[in-house]
Structure 1
Amino acid sequence: MGSVLTETPGAAPPRTGEKRRGRLLPWAVIGLWIAAVALALPFSGKLGGVTRDQPADYLPAGADSTRVQELVDKLPGGGTTDLLLVHHRDGGLTAADKRLAATQAREIAGAYEHSGPATPRTVPAKDGTTLLTALSLTGLDEDSRGEAVADVRERLDEPGEGLSVEVGGPGALASDMDEIFESADSVLMLGTAAVVAVLLILTYRSPVLWLVPLAVVGVSSVVAMAVVYGLVQGFDMNVSTMNTSVMTVLIFGAGTDYALLLVARYREELRRHERPYAAMLAALRGCGPAILASSGTVAAGLLCLLAADLNSSSSLGPVGAVGVVCALAAMMTLLPALLVLLGRRVFWPLIPAYGSEPPARRSLFTLMGSSAGRRPATVLIGGAVLLGTLALGTTALPGTLRQEDTFTRTPESVSALATVEKSFPESSSQPVTVLARTAEAGPAESTAKATDGVARVERGRSGGGWTELSVFARDAPESAGEKDTIRALRGELASLDGAEALVGGPSAEQLDLATTNADDRRIVIPLALGAVLLILIALLRSLTAPLILVVAVVASWGAAMGLGGLVFGPVLGFEGLDPAIPLLTFVFLVALGVDYGIFLMHRMREESLRGAPVPEAALTALRTTGGVIASAGIVLAATFCVLASMPMVMMAEMGFVIAVGVLLDTFLVRTYLVTSASLLLKRWMWWPGRLFRAEPGAKRG
């Protein structure tokens, strides 16, 4: 809308053509969006049906474990659904318990195709309290695996008094995860919408105004989901439920931020312009470049994730970018059109009258600016020390998150695994899957048996030129000892000519995830910093200001991660840190955190162009944008807090770090540190641009 609105505001009466344009153009924009929504609705609802949440969809594209997952699906019977039937009685299993366990194992084995012996082998624990039966169900497609797990659990539903029967293993763990994902999008969208609605009502103090940006966010969300569905269908893009969940949060958070900035500037311009159309033109000209640059930094930062090898991270880039671009398009076209048609009355009861002055009051941000202005060096050093101290908390971050610790609640699959680990401490119940060329399967089996740390090896299925070996380590799943065994296996098997042996399975996947995430950080982080820096340089026409903004947001990220180290284990009880958290939170916080720096510095540059000295421009920018930046920061942090409420540790960790980082950035870094740096550097803030070279106090045309 802003690109086609060309009226120049002024005191002269509007011409007839301008009046007509002011009436017709908003209706035309609304009509286009109605058509877009009508086209998008049939496809947006289909997005949930094409999301992929199988283990391979969250694995590194080039890892051995990913290749194993893909090849196993092509063996006779397809991919296996590996289950553990765990019968346990605290005082020791009775003879009746053992008979029941054998009967149930035979019943389930008879109901499903499975690999291994016809009668599943049941292994008793040395202490006599637990029986463990391993089953690898075959012939199940992606949709029927969850149904099979539910059926197995139903068959074991009445074990008898004092006897517990649980279903664990990778197949049960995946089923429990799918159950969470099924309701994730709807719960997340409703929760986020409710939070945003409450915050908008508190911000605007109007019974009507809050509905407008919320409705526009909803429209952009529908269109974004349809676009992502089109990308999946057209390019076979791998999109997970985590990706769509994060996109929902981004649309609500970033979209509402853009609305807050635009509405605040529009309210300001309504006091200077008689007609809403002219006021909106001025508002778009004033804050439009900052909003465009803001969305550009977020989209560019997210697209840098395409360079990641991890499937779930690389696909998050374009999905998140689509959400941000759709939110931008709606907020820069549909929102202005609706506000212009609704006129001043949309602000009731606090209607900004033409020619009036805003209520004179000493705002919190004026006080903050004054305190920073009195001792900028002290404020800057003190803030930097505080952020550095908080960042030391990263040394307390927990180790790598294990698969069974991925939930904030304890599902049956996790409690079953805990029982197994306690009752069978001497060996692993979770096999390491090895695939070798069938012609060399014998030497591969012998080599695996001779590898340090291996307890036993069982030969599995063969097909398509590959043979499956199940290797059981002596150490517990995902322990340091088992990881050493996997590394040793890979090293020994690599020396076999022609075997082309690949090592996979849940533990190998976690090992590959940690390695790949470390590699991705070395690639994506410099790309994201470079992309954001280039956009800031283009917007601010300076090198100093962009560098300060980037350094400041990196400091916010470090402090937020440090607070995570102090909270995740001791307070929230998380047993590990998801390996993707450092990379994803860095990209999001750099891209989103720079938003507020853009809003502040763009207004500061406006004041400098009018001839204000840098210190005065900095304080004016803080006074005029501080409130809207605070509101935007609170909204964005609140939306990510909704993400943190999801019952998965990764979501909770990501939501916490981003929410804390945004709040630190909003109330400490932008308010105090960037303002203090501006006061100290003065015109050097704009080096080497023309504002640096201009005479101090001179108006720049």
Structure 2
Amino acid sequence: MSTSVTTASTRERRPGTRVIRVVLPALLILIWFAAAGVGGPYFGKVDEVSSNDQTSFLPASADATKVQNRLGEFTSSDALPAVAVMTADQRLTSQQLTALSDAVKGLTDVTGVQQGVSPVIPAKDGRAAEAFIPITSSGEIAVIVQEVRDRLVAAAPAGVTVNVTGPAGFTADLVGAFAGIDGVLLLVALAAVLVILVVVYRSLLLPVAVLATSLFALCVALLVVWWLAKVGVLTLTGQTQGILFILVIGAATDYSLLYTSRYREELRSNPDKGAATLVAWRSAVEPIVASGGTVIAGLLCLLLSDLNSNKSLGPVAALGIVFAMLAALTLLPALLFAFGRAAYWPRRPVYEVAHQHNAIDPRGLYARVGRLVARRPRTVWITCVVLLLAGAASITGLRADGVPQSDLVIGASDARDGQRALAEHFPAGSGSPASVIVAESDLQRAADVLLANDGVDAVTVTSADSPSGSAPVTTAGIGAVGPPGTPAPEPTVVNGDVLLQATLTAAADSAAAERTVRSLRSDLAGVGLVGGETATAIDTNDTSIRDRTLIIPLTLAVILLILMLLLRAVVAPVLLIATTVLSFATALGVSALVFNEVLRLPGADPSVPLFGFVFLVALGIDYNIFLMTRVREESARHGTRPGILRGLAVTGGVITSAGVVLAATFAALAVIPVLFLLQIAFIVAFGVLLDTFVVRTLLVPALTYQIGPAIWWPGRLSRPAGRHAAEPVEADHEHADADTVPAPARQ
């Protein structure tokens, strides 16, 4: 180190070097400030390129998608149907029905409501009425639906309750749930990170520098993602946007913590902040790039998904990680170089001439944990494995087979209330029919199959000749829609095909409706394609299950390969992967208990385990990378077993801080009242804390310590000739010397 210090001091005296050392950090800071200044305003413009409608989540090759893509061929309308349900405790009077009819007719004045609003249709029991309202899908659905609700509620007679449900109603509720994603979510996440950083560092300036790094990375990432979504390269949804925010803030903070910890070490060993910056940067770049590369590789595996929402998340989140790494390796070093030791005020690191480089304080928490591991490695790792397996035992209780659309939004939902009212007084599938495309020659055959199914209430065929746009179909053929004697309208034929609409007796998002649609698909195999809301949910769930079966093993293989290249070994990467998978299983098991017994949630989307896996395995491996790259560095100097204890002692504090920060940022997702995000928030937050405090702190060090130098097989460090002279070839693992962590040198 003295040679490097001398060299650094010599360079400091060179005018050219001094200019570079001043200009380069200033230039980096200005570039990031300018880029963030441009990207910042895009937080308020995300809605322009973000979509939460059904087509954003459709599986790319499923029957429901093919039907959805062809619906516009049979009608010129791009409408999303809303169903107004008006109910009363008593039979509706003629005066009440007249008032409701007038209110519904007046909805055509609402911008975004298309022509073709149906008349008010009374229920058979007389205590309810419904009306179908076409909402333009290209407009602000939530705003349009809210205005429709407000008008109907204001015009409703006393004693009449109005709800707006159907696909447009549920879409409006979902859009409303995501409304705070670029405000509340971001503020909660940043506030949580700030509090943790202040507690950890007990400094004022350093948390600001770290938060600025995270926020600037997010601004630039959002700028790039916004334009890619604008030109159609990427699909941006509300859930993708929320995960992007959290992932960038969490990852950038983690990488920043790793650098700030290393920089503080170097400031204690080096009087020159420029030389300390260079050494710290060189030491941090490998684990940060390796960690970020691992996360990116895991996220890009989502490109193999057949779900548009999953496929879009991969590259969007990967871009976020790229900018998180760039900010942590360029902006933060430049800021800390500019601040120097003052960045850590009031606990400024002081240069000590006699300071032993990378000396370990034996009184530190993780030095004491290391001595525990050294004394009883077998006991430690067996205890950890038993506890983790106990937590994983409940994994079979995780009901990740899909949830009804009405349960996607947590809390109050007008669309959910309307769906219940609809099911009580009308066929529950009103407004969300199954769409069936068949050849014109098979129209009657397909209609007979539909009508023969107990789950189908009525069948219509799209017809441009009909005033309502459709005509009823019975076993006797297409019925007339006018006075007696009026000829039946001709069906609309497109490329030899017609479109049938089957109203289901059960709610479109119910298990009964799914059974009906699966039955219809079986009966109509080779005759027609069945789509619609229920079919989309079926295809989405089936595709999610297929995706996680394919992507989870592939992600493991990719991350294993990266770890082998990074650690130049086989045994260590296999061990890290195995412990991380065990940790993931435990997180899912505990989550199943919490979801079922504590929160009483209705179930989970099939993609929840996949997303949880990608985030937990990729991010959990991050901490093992931080630990094991330092262990490998220390092992090359001091031997494997001392290197394990030194690596644990040195990285313990920074990894714990990083884990708590990441857990807090993901937990912030729970402020968005969407079931999927709540479940991801808990799984990832709990899993990260499990990795931080159990897997990385106890399990991995204990297993590595017991295995010894063989952990690096077949690398150089596993061979006697490649080991440090201090490394014992044989050791009594259970009674190893507890004092292998040296005390700091004293002046």
Is the 1:115–1:460 Cα contact (8 Å) retained in structure 2? no
Partner Cα distance (1:263, 1:627) in 2: 12
Q: Helix, strand or coil for the counterpart of 1:9?
A: helix
Q: State the Cα distance separating 1:90 from its structure 2 match.
A: 3.8
Equivalent position amino acid for 1:450 in 2 = A
Does the 8 Å CA contact 1:72/1:80 hold for their aligned counterparts?
no
| Separation in 1, partners of 2:384, 2:94 | 68
DSSP-derived class of the 2:183 partner:
helix
The answer to whether the Cα contact below 8 Å between 1:124 and 1:132 also exists between their aligned partners in 2 is no
In the superposition, relative to structure 1, how do residues 503 and 136 fare at CA in structure 2: closer, same or farther (>3 Å)?
farther
Q: Are the equivalent residues in 2 in contact too, given 1:449–1:455 (CA < 8 A)?
A: yes
Structure 1 runs of 4+ off > 6 angstroms?
425-429
2:451 to 443, 449, 467: 449
Match of 1:311 in 2: 308
Q: Deviations over 1:474-521 (max 9, x none)?
A: 34433333222111211222232xxxx221222111111110001111
How far did residue 308 of structure 1 move? 0.4
Q: Percent identity?
A: 37
CA–CA separation in structure 1 for the residues paired with 2:720 and 2:24: 40
- Spell out the pairing of 1:552-701 with structure 2 (5 A cutoff): 552-612=579-639, 614-695=640-721, 696-698=723-725
Q: How does 1:8-19 map to 2 (within 5 A)?
A: 9-11=4-6, 13-15=9-11, 16-17=13-14, 18-19=17-18
Q: Structure 2 unaligned runs (5+)?
A: 464-491, 728-747
Q: Which amino acid aligns with 1:24?
A: V
1:512 partner amino acid:
D
Partner deviation per Cα, 1:35-78 (whole Å, 9 max, x = no partner): 44455457676443112222110111111112222222444242
Distance 2:103 2:39 in 1: 49
Query: What is the aligned partner in structure 2 of residue 511 from structure 1?
Result: 538
Match runs of 1:492-507 below 5 Å:
492-496=523-527, 501-507=528-534
SS at match of 2:596: coil
Task: Supply the distance in 1 between the matched residues of 2:74 and 2:424 (Cα, whole angstroms).
Answer: 33
For residues 270 and 672 of structure 1, the distance between their equivalents in structure 2, rounded to whole angstroms, comes to: 29
Partner of 2:577: 550
Match of 1:349?
346
Contact 1:391 1:561 in 2 (8 A): yes
Q: Map of 1:73-92 to 2, 5 A cutoff? A: 73-90=72-89
Per-residue CA deviation, residues 446-475 of structure 1 (Å, 9 max, x unaligned), is 332234532321223546445332212334
Counterpart residue number, 1:483: 514
| Runs (5+) with no aligned partner, structure 1 | 1-6
Q: State the one-letter code of the partner of 2:676.
A: M
- 1:415, CA displacement in angstroms? 1.3
2:366 is the alignment partner of 1:335:
no
Q: Distance in 1 between matches of 2:236 and 2:140?
A: 20
Corresponding residue of 1:368: 369
Contact 1:294/1:598, CA 8 A, preserved across alignment: yes
In 2, Cα distance between the equivalents of 1:451 and 1:33?
63
Q: Which moved more, 1:263-272 or 1:502-511?
A: 502-511
Q: Which moved more, 1:573-582 or 1:104-113?
A: 104-113
Mapped contact 2:221–2:323 kept (Cα < 8 A): yes
3-state SS of the aligned residue for 1:472? strand
* Counterpart residue type for residue 149 of structure 2: R
Q: Is the 8 A contact 1:53 1:178 kept in 2?
A: yes
TM-score for both structures, normalised by structure 2: 0.86
Q: Distance in 1 between matches of 2:608 and 2:172?
A: 23
Give the 5 Å matches for 1:86-165: 86-90=85-89, 93=92, 96-108=95-107, 112-113=113-114, 119-125=119-125, 130-137=127-134, 140-158=136-154, 159-165=156-162
Q: Where does residue 742 of structure 2 map in the other structure? A: none
- Displacement after TM superposition at 1:391 (Å): 1.5
2:462 — aligned with what?
Answer: 460
Which amino acid in 2 is paired with 1:624? V
Could you tell me how far 1:34 is from its partner in structure 2?
3.7
CA apart distance, 1:652: 0.5
**TM-score for both structures, normalised by structure 1:** 0.92
CA-based RMSD of the aligned residues comes to 2.6
Does the 8 Å CA contact 1:554/1:590 hold for their aligned counterparts? yes
The amino acid across from 1:477 in the alignment is A
Is the 2:87–2:128 contact (alpha carbons within 8 Å) kept by the matching residues of 1? yes
CA distance in 1, matches of 2:70, 2:253: 45
Aligned pair partner of 1:297 in 294, 314, 320: 294
Report what 1:400 is aligned to. Answer: 402
| 1:244-265 C-alpha deviation (Å, 9 max, x unpaired) | 2211111100000000010011
Aligned to 2:566: 539
Q: Structure 1 pair 93/233, CA: closer, same or farther in 2 (3 Å)?
A: closer
Moved more, 667-676 or 566-575: 566-575
CA contact (8 A) 1:405 1:574 kept: no
Q: Once the 2 structures are TM-superposed, how far is the Cα of residue 443 of structure 1 from its aligned partner?
A: 3.3
The 3-state SS of whatever aligns with 2:346 is coil
The answer on whether the counterparts of 2:427 and 2:504 sit within 8 Å (CA) in structure 1 is: no
Q: 1:82, 1:134 within 8 Å by CA — same for their partners in 2?
A: no
Which has the larger Rg? 2
| Letter aligned with residue 420 of structure 2 | A
| AA partner of residue 655 (structure 1) | A
| SS of equivalent to 2:524 | helix
How many positions carry a matched residue from both structures?
A: 685
SS of 1:133's equivalent?
strand
Q: Deviations over 1:227-274 (max 9, x none)?
A: 112322455322212212211111100000000010011001101111
Q: For structure 1, which segment, 60-69 or 36-45, has the greater mean C-alpha deviation from structure 2 after superposition?
A: 36-45
Residues 185 and 241, structure 1, Cα contact 8 Å, conserved in 2:
no
Following the alignment from structure 1 to structure 2, what is the Cα–Cα distance between the partners of residues 434 and 309? 22
Residues in 2 aligned to 1:292 and 1:147: alpha-carbon distance in whole angstroms = 44
**Alignment correspondent of 2:165:** 168
Distance 1:51 1:41 in 2: 17
SS at match of 1:238: coil
Please, which moves more after superposition, 364-373 or 322-331? Answer: 364-373
Q: What amino acid does structure 1 have at the position aligned with 2:194? A: A
Alpha carbons of structure 1 residues 191 and 178: separation in structure 2 relative to 1, 3 Å: same
- Given that residues 59 and 308 in structure 2 are in contact (C-alpha distance below 8 angstroms), is that contact kept between their aligned partners in structure 1? yes
Residue range with higher mean Cα deviation, 411-420 or 298-307: 411-420
